[in-house]
Structure 1
């Protein structure tokens, strides 16, 4: 980097962040905030909001590790939540949500394709946004991106769109659920179908209640399995037979955790502790997601991809809400 470019970067940081020349202070503030997210006083929406605020004020001093940290924390937390769930209840929830899952996935993908054409959005970017909205947000985008050979810019725009809308959903959905007096079962199903990312689904459902959490987590993880057929279809659509499909193996561990909790009395004794740790991990995950949404990320999304994401999200949210309130 030339001296002039280096000076320009320093100036940009000085204009944007507090303590621009004191990385130690920024790290200390960030670590203290992260530790706070592991305590019972911090809810998932507040953790996300705290991360968003810090992203704008001090930036993320560990941004290079953020993506991997979120990925592993979310998987471990979801498996941990399995220790608080019952197999019979989970099977019933999965069965109830199956038809909604199938219809919503295909409807979202078709509508996303049409919107992408209408708005003249680059093909791979549009496809990633549609895939993330249809199935499970960042996980679906991460699985499909290498299969269609998406570049860094396309992936960033799609992830930015999904994470922005996830952040909004975490605050809006519980409010709407209480306003409409939805049952916990109804709300859990709505979250699983209409919120993109597993982290925000679980976060919103946990705020609403324990039954909502079980229903939402079960349906969302069953929905996530559709990543596999979607990835294989993507190889044909984009004529790329060399892409590697990422299979969400952690869902199998979640199922094993449920089975252990349901049928092994020894495991059920420690399950409450495991679930409490898992919820703390989920809260920290949402803090890190918020901390990753810097001004640069928010600005890089662009108007057209955001419009596509918003229209898809509203369509699936309103459509599934109507169906759940009137058909269940």
Structure 2
């Protein structure tokens, strides 16, 4: 935590924070340009076809990725793009909490909550088994399994210090989950439409399969608010599974008494922020405020609009940050494991939805 400037503190230290904020502007403007283009294309769709076939949230990803494939953004854009792709997404998740009440959580029911935990556990086991079957190193298999089953890059970052994964393993795992995460966001609505799923069923499917919490918004908001609420709540349960999974891995490493890199290395501690990210806490607080009636009804439409706007902007940044060529550099075995693990996760999710006979 930075010290508060006192009376004796020199004035030349004061501009440091504004300079940091100003460095975000070029990247924010680039993301805004992509977001505006996405909104314009959606408006053109409405004018030509009478409906938006592809939502602005998805269009922002596509346009951003298309730009990134032919142009590498200069370094001056990086702070703003990274801020948009991460922080603005997380803020959108916090704001989404205002649309969810405790009654909504209770409506999900204990069966679905327990089923979500079971799906995550099975997905970790199946994905790890696929990785070892295709002869991936143990640590790489664990990273892919946790990233696939829980929350993509965030899970990989949290699990890596627990299992002493090196930078190359982490980079390769993140490269695939970043690209495949976008593919899931783009293709999942098509699967939901093909299966004629209700908004609740589709939201549960998205919550169980989409990698990152904020990406659930991109996959569900085009379908409707009910799908977004259900998807976010289920995804919340998946994220909360990160704590028990990390603790379990730490116990396993401790029982083994060694790591592949250093036989005498003890298991590392995982920062609390990796187990329970701030935006999840914010989501819960906003949900609590909504349940207690602390958020005026008149503010809900404004918060909903702001959530969507921030998500479109963040998806533009995500597209500008994703280099699809990274997939080719990570190897076919990793690609096969990640893809098969995702398909297994989708299968487990559909099985749970069918077993619980959701409406």
Secondary structure in structure 2 of the residue aligned to 1:264: coil
Hey, what's the Cα distance between the residues in 2 that align with 1:286 and 1:196?
14
Structure 1 counterpart of 2:337:
308
**Distance 1:267-1:27 versus aligned 2 partners, 3 A rule:** closer
CA 255–150 in structure 1, closer or farther in 2 if over 3 Å, else same:
same
Matched, 1:242 2:268: yes
Cα distance change on mapping 1:70 and 1:237 into 2, 3 Å? farther
Structure 1 CA distance, aligned partners of 2:316 and 2:303?
20
Q: CA RMSD in A?
A: 2.6
Shift of residue 82, structure 1, vs aligned partner: 0.9
Task: State how far apart, in whole Å, the 1-side matches of 2:68 and 2:85 are.
Answer: 15
8 Å CA contact 1:149–1:243 kept in 2: the answer is no
Work out the CA distance in 2 between the residues paired with 1:68 and 1:120: 37
8 Å contact from structure 1 (residues 100, 320) kept in 2:
no
Give the secondary structure class of the aligned counterpart of 1:284: helix
Q: Deviations over 1:27-74 (max 9, x none)?
A: 976652255468885621111111110110112333466555433222
Corresponding residue SS for 1:216: helix
- Determine if the alignment matches structure 1 residue 101 to structure 2 residue 116: yes
* Residue in structure 2 matching 1:185, options 200, 222, 228: 200
Distance 1:324 1:30, change over 3 A: closer
> Residue 21 of structure 2 corresponds to which residue in structure 1?
none
Instruction: Give the match's secondary structure for 1:80.
Output: helix
User: Residues of 2 paired with 1:188 and 1:266: CA distance?
Assistant: 24
Counterpart of 2:306 (choices 271, 277, 290) is 277
Contact 1:97 1:189 in 2 (8 A): no
Residues in 2 aligned to 1:282 and 1:95: alpha-carbon distance in whole angstroms: 30
Q: 1:267 aligns with which of 296, 311, 316?
A: 296
Q: TM-score, normalised by structure 1?
A: 0.84
Aligned counterparts of 1:232 and 1:128: Cα–Cα separation in 2: 15
* 1:33 corresponds to: 34
2:282 equivalent among 253, 276, 289: 253
Contact 1:82 1:257 in 2 (8 A): yes
Matched, 1:56 2:81: no
Greater Rg by CA: 2
Name the counterpart of 2:177. 162
Task: Measure the CA separation in 2 of the matches of 1:177 and 1:28.
Answer: 34
- Which runs of structure 2 are paired with 1:140-151 in the superposition (5 Å)? 140-151=155-166
Counterpart contact for 1:115–1:308, Cα < 8 Å: yes
SS of 1:238's equivalent in the other structure is helix
Name structure 2 gaps, 5 residues minimum. Answer: 1-25, 44-54, 255-265
- Residue by residue over 1:173-231, the C-alpha shift from the partner in whole angstroms, topping out at 9 and shown as x without a partner, is 11111121111111111111122222322211111111111000011012201111122
Structure 1 residues 232 and 159: CA distance shift in structure 2, 3 A: same
Displacement of 1:164 after TM fit?
A: 1.9
Matched, 1:79 2:79: no
Q: 1:228 aligns with which of 243, 257, 265?
A: 243
Contact 1:37 1:284 in 2 (8 A): no
- TM score, norm. by length of structure 2: 0.77
Write the distance in 2 (CA, Å) between the matches of 1:231 and 1:254: 22
Secondary structure (helix, strand or coil) at the match of 1:189 reads helix
The answer on 1:319 being equivalent to 2:348 is yes
Query: Which segments of 5 or more consecutive residues in structure 1 lack a partner in the other structure?
Result: 1-24
Provide the rounded CA distance (Å) in 2 between the counterparts of 1:243 and 1:66.
30
Instruction: Report the equivalent of 1:20.
Output: none
